[in-house]
Each structure stands twice: as C-alpha cells, then as structure tokens.
Structure 1
C-alpha cells in the first residue's frame, strides 16, 4: 500500500500477538522523516494517533512536515479496524471504553513490537487528533513516565450534544452520498472503520463516557488545541482539560474546524513547535 504520509515511504506491518486484552493483530505503520534519526544522539520520536475515521493514509503529508519542523522522526499507524490494519469483524461492537483499551493495551504492544524501549519512550511526543487526541490523553495519564509530552488536537473528554448530532449527520451522508466511496480509498474495509466509530458514538450508553477523572494522572507537558468552528466539539473540551491539568497549555484557533492540521496547518505547526521548543 502506497503511503500518502510521505512521497516515498511504503507502509509496513507489525504483528501483535494475542493477549488477554485482544486477539492477534496486524498493524499498518510507517516511519516519517527517518533522516532525523541519523543525527547524533538520535532525534526524539513523534507518535501520531489518528481521528475516529482516520488512518495512516488520511494524515497525508502533515506528519512529515511537522516532524521536519520539530527535527524529530515520526511513527504513524492505523489503529485496529482502520486503514490496512486488522479490520473489525462486522458483528463486533467497540465497547464504551474502547479508547482506554487503545491507550492501555494496543499502543504499548505496538511500541514493544517495534522495539521502542523505555528510554526512547521517555523522549517520545504523543500527538493525537479527535479520538486520537483522547487516546493521547489517556496514554499520558496511564503511563506518565513513558513519554516526553503530549499534544491533543480537538480531543474529546466527555460527550457533547454537538458531537452526537454531527456524527448522526455523518451516518446519513455515508449511507446516502459518495462519502463511503471517498473513505474507501483510506481503509481496506471501509464499513469496518465507519460503523465501528459511528455505532459506538451513537450508542446511548456512550453518552455517559467521560475521562475527565483520568486527566489528573497527566504529569508531562500537555498542549491542547481546539478550533472555534469545530462541529464535533466545543471549547468546553479543552477548558475542562485545563481545569483538571493545571500545567496544560491551550491554543484556540480562529476560523478553524475539527481538523486543524488541514484547516490551519501553519498556525498549528507554529503552536506545536513553540510548545515543544520550550521543553527540549
């Protein structure tokens, strides 16, 4: 599979053995800006966690450009159910705590499979968008010493009406327009990806999902970014993060929707670069 994250890099696959938490998994991943890893002392790692309908390919070239700006090498991967990774069986529904499972079980297992040791993890920056932003927050809380810092872009820490309403509208678009065809370019099993995400977010039981209590476990530097035109969440999300994590810094982007890396990439890259530079 050609990887649109860079012009030349092909994605690869990591095999995760079955555990009590999950069955055997094949995870699609790629490295970006690998030349940075050849510098003396080895450049820190930036790890990217995609959105609820995202994949390795849907990032396009943003991870490469950000890593070049930061002087880091990057790791981009598709979570199970997305991109070229093991698809979700169609009869399986994601549980309410699916994001916690990704942070607690899948991400550490992938790091193990790629032989990323604890010393390298301590220098790693975890960068997530939307659901991936929530997973970044959870990883930072669950493994407070296994990263250098985190960047959460348009994350969710509780469920808002605006999120559910927009996700319901997206389902209608998926079933009545060419959205399914467009998304199929980025997922080996597009229905696995779409309905895994859509079904859990529209499940009435998910309305009670809330990770604000977990945020107090975050000790490392944290940047939270939100666009003011986001139709999947409001500023209440990152304002709540600031209440629970006093050392967190917030960036609020004007004229920006749910995907700052597409809507305002220059402003986002500048904010991340300035934040990281103060902590290196």
Structure 2
C-alpha cells in the first residue's frame, strides 16, 4: 500500500480485462489521460499513477539522486507493477515516459508485455547522423530558463509544446499543470528528460511496440519517430492526423483509435 499511496495509483475500467498502464510525461499527471480512459474502460483494466514529484504523489518520497536518471522513474513503474502484481501489462507512455517504459520492460520483463509510445524521443539533442530536434545550446538555454524562472518558462513553453493555437485552452491546461509541479522537483525531471539518451535501449526491446507520432511536433519531430520505429525490431508506427506533442489531449479520437486497434491485435 505504501507504493500505491506514494504514486497515487488509481484503478478503473474492467477488472476482468487485460491491464493497460497509462504513464504521463514531464510536468503532467494522470489527469492528462482523462480523454483516453473512457475509450479503454469497457474492455480493459486501466492503471493510472503519478511519478514521484508529480501530481498527487507523495512528495516526501522524492530523492534527487534517484530521479536524476530515467532509471529512477522506471523503478517507480516496476514497483507499481509489483505492488499490483501485474503480468504482461501494456504500458502506454507519453513523451519521456515512452523511454521509461522501455527501461521498465527491461528491468521486469514479466510485468510488461507490450509498449505504446506516444510522441517518444530517445534523445532530444542533435548529434552526427541523428536529429533530435534541438542543438546542445538549445537545451542548455531551455534548462537555464527553467532554472531561473520556472513559472515564466511554463507560461511561455506550454502553448509551444501543446501546439494547436486554435485550442488555447489546451495550452492553458498544460501551463497550469506545469505550474502546479514543485519547481525544484520539476527542474530535476526536466534535466533528466532533456539530457537523457536512450537510443541504445531501443535495440533491446523485444515486446510488441506501437509508435505514435504527430504530423507536426516541435518536441519530437517525425525524424525521431522514424528512428524509434527503425530501431525497435518489429515495431509498428502510426502517424496521427494531429499536431503538437500531446495528441491524447488535442486529438483524442485518433489517438484512442490507434491504441485500441493495437490492443485488439494483441488479444
């Protein structure tokens, strides 16, 4: 029960159905999946949680040492799966959580039987032969801005990350989510996220994997989606008719349809 409380674990949906774990990205919490849960609830048992430092997690459990690498967040996932005794669950991870799912599946292969990666990126910084979407200077400046004025950074970046200026309420919601996160903990998560490099981990994925990308995404451009798809053996990629980095919020119908189609193929 300590893990359940620590990560604010919520169970919903069909208790007799296969299990789907929904994992949020940086600066978010489980509420960001509210448009996905109803699409899955009839046929699947749905597990939601907040990473330590996010949402309604137990903030007293936060450790900068633990969460200075994605392994710490992956351990959260594994411990939640162990607490619920999950077997062969489908892990749906948004943004950086897609890579957390990759690491968790390697740590506890009996717990995670498939991956859905929503707008994933294994590496945000451009390097020779690889386009992540940002130069090293871009990321340094982003982190410096976040360190010096987190609330100002949140207000400026949330609409850019969300995209969809025709739906300004979505950018406002993301901004509010960022601003509700403890700034010190958000800085750790941001540094862990934007400086991570999980490219080599993709080669080790051995479970069925769906990669969902958007037609336009400033955080994870389509070159990144192609790289993830090409590097994970046997993976499937779907390009959603959606823009921005949060298609489960801005284009929930298309996102849910792609996820459900993939899940149906696993049964």
TM-score bracket, normalised by the shorter chain, equals 0.7 to 0.9
Cα distance per residue 1:211-256 (max 9 Å; x no partner): 1212222221100111121111112222222222221000112342
TM-score between the two structures when normalised by the length of structure 2:
0.76
Cα distance per residue 1:57-89 (max 9 Å; x no partner): 333x224223136x1011100001111113279
User: Counterpart in 2 of 1:176?
Assistant: 152
Cα distance in structure 1, aligned partners of 2:219 and 2:71: 20
User: Counterpart in 2 of 1:8?
Assistant: none
Verify the 8 A CA contact 1:56 1:76 in the aligned structure 2.
yes
The alignment status of 1:194 with 2:167, answered yes or no, reads no
User: Counterpart in 1 of 2:87?
Assistant: 121
TM-score between the two structures when normalised by the length of structure 1:
0.73
Cα distance per residue 1:104-145 (max 9 Å; x no partner): x2222222233x2xxx412x1100100111111222333334
Cα distance in structure 1, aligned partners of 2:154 and 2:123: 30
Verify the 8 A CA contact 1:129 1:153 in the aligned structure 2.
yes
User: Counterpart in 2 of 1:111?
Assistant: 81
- Tell me: CA distance 1:47–1:177, structure 2 relative to 1, closer, same or farther (3 Å): closer
| Among 76, 80, 93, the residue aligned to 2:48 | 76
Cα distance in structure 2, aligned partners of 1:125 and 1:275: 10
Cα distance in structure 1, aligned partners of 2:24 and 2:219: 15
Cα distance in structure 1, aligned partners of 2:17 and 2:63: 42
Cα distance in structure 2, aligned partners of 1:73 and 1:111: 13
Cα distance in structure 2, aligned partners of 1:46 and 1:90: 25
- Tell me: CA distance 1:226–1:244, structure 2 relative to 1, closer, same or farther (3 Å): same
Verify the 8 A CA contact 2:219 2:245 in the aligned structure 1.
yes
- Tell me: CA distance 1:173–1:57, structure 2 relative to 1, closer, same or farther (3 Å): farther
Matches within 5 A, 1:135-154: 135-154=100-119
Q: How many residues align?
A: 240
| Among 12, 16, 19, the residue aligned to 1:45 | 19
Q: C-alpha root-mean-square deviation of aligned residues, in Å?
A: 3.2
Verify the 8 A CA contact 2:67 2:73 in the aligned structure 1.
no
Verify the 8 A CA contact 1:43 1:73 in the aligned structure 2.
yes
Cα distance in structure 2, aligned partners of 1:113 and 1:218: 23
Structure 2 unpaired stretches of 5+: 127-132, 159-171
Displacement of 1:146 = 2.5
Displacement of 1:90 = 9.1
Cα distance in structure 2, aligned partners of 1:184 and 1:85: 17
- Tell me: CA distance 1:148–1:136, structure 2 relative to 1, closer, same or farther (3 Å): same
Verify the 8 A CA contact 2:212 2:239 in the aligned structure 1.
yes
Give 3-state SS (helix, strand or coil) of 2:37's partner: helix
User: Counterpart in 2 of 1:6?
Assistant: none
- Tell me: CA distance 1:126–1:185, structure 2 relative to 1, closer, same or farther (3 Å): closer
Structure 1 unpaired stretches of 5+: 1-13, 18-24
